[in-house]
Amino acid sequence: MKLVRHRGRSIVCGGMALGLATVTCLAELKTFTIDPARSSLRISGTFAGFNIEPQAPGSLVTSYEGTIEAEVTGSDIVFLGGSVIAALTNGNWQPAAGGVAGSAPANYGGQVVNLFVNGRAALRNVRFDLTSGVLPLNDGHYEAQELLFNFIPGGDSVIDYTYSITLGGSGNASQALYGTSPNAVSTNGTLEVRGDETELTIPVDISGALTVVSLNDVQYRFRGQLVATAAAPAPVEIHSFHVNAGQLYFSIATVPGQSYTILGSTNLGGWSEIIDQFTATETLTERTLAMPASQPQHYFRVRQGF
């Protein structure tokens, strides 16, 4: 019997139709909801070689909300992209939008004030996406340093700033935040089932640079942790499967009101062959279907959704 993991929402994978009894191979696309009470990132960095300080206590740390998209099996996790990891407003900071005089709500507010530099900056609408390759799960732990964070393109993540530098001039402007940063953490992330929830933790340490006066004269670093939860998986499972007189007999654990598709393949590669589609009315659904055209072997899987 061959098993295959295939990207998609809640799937069950099958093997050859001859003599197959019970098969379960679950891969589930999950949307995790970020818990702002347990998720925060602190920003630090330098401007023109000087450390960035808070404009007021707490202005360089904020909580995060949003959603994280991942595909989960019993043995690995993949961050697919499409996440929205959004910073919350933590106060009114200088300058206002566009770098003009005044203050306005922002996610972060920092400053460098000394004999040589007088500068202030506010980060607004900070939003990250998150991607990765296939990350093995080892006793609920995965290698968080394999994650890639990127500012969401077109997500209006900006830094508004104003500055004056002795013998270096002055200015004010707004810049979009963009680019991808690898996660530099040394600790692992976790994925654990806790009661009726699955809890995801992501330690974060990402860095970047941007140019205000001279090349890469602003260095920044986000550090902290994200915690997100999703409903514990409700497995899609083929309880039994057999072939008799050219008929396929499926017995599938289902959720009433949920739609399902049975797909077929002769090579475990393409899954475009739709064998059956139905909406469940019971917790156990029996389906009797005609055997596809004769092939040396045939594979089947069940997924949630049409």
pLDDT in tens, 151-191: 998 878 999 999 999 888 899 999 999 999 999 999 999 99
What are the phi and psi torsion angles at 207 (to 5°)?
-135, 160
**Taking residues 234-242, what's their average pLDDT?**
77
What are the phi and psi torsion angles at 118 (to 5°)?
-130, 100
Q: How confident is the model at residue 1 (pLDDT cuts 50, 70, 90)?
A: very low
d(Cα 37, Cα 17) in Å, to the nearest integer? 50
Q: What are the beta bridge partners of residue 180?
A: 150
Q: What is the pLDDT at residue 27?
A: 55
Q: How confident is the model at residue 255 (pLDDT cuts 50, 70, 90)?
A: confident
Instruction: Set out the domains of the chain in order of their start, with CATH numbers.
Output: 11-26+235-304 (2.60.40), 31-231 (no CATH)
User: Does pLDDT of 235 surpass 70?
Assistant: no
Q: What percent of the chain has pLDDT over 70?
A: 88
Mean pLDDT is lowest, of 4-8, 110-114, 293-297, for 4-8
**Taking residues 193-217, what's their average pLDDT?**
93
**Taking residues 100-116, what's their average pLDDT?**
97
For residue 205, give the nearest of 175, 226, 190 by alpha carbon. 226
Asked if the bond preceding 105 is cis, omega within 30° of 0, the reply is no
Contact 13, 25 (CB under 8 A): yes
User: Does pLDDT of 97 surpass 90?
Assistant: yes
More confident residue, 54 or 293: 54
**Taking residues 208-216, what's their average pLDDT?**
94
User: Does pLDDT of 133 surpass 70?
Assistant: yes
pLDDT in tens, 3-34: 333 333 333 344 433 333 333 344 567 899 99
**Taking residues 297-301, what's their average pLDDT?**
81
Question: What is the edge-to-edge ordering of all strands in the sheet holding 284-290?
Answer: 237-244, 247-253, 284-290
The number of C-alpha atoms within 13 Å of 197 and in the hemisphere containing its C-beta is: 12
For the chain, the average pLDDT equals: 87
Q: What is the pLDDT at residue 48?
A: 93
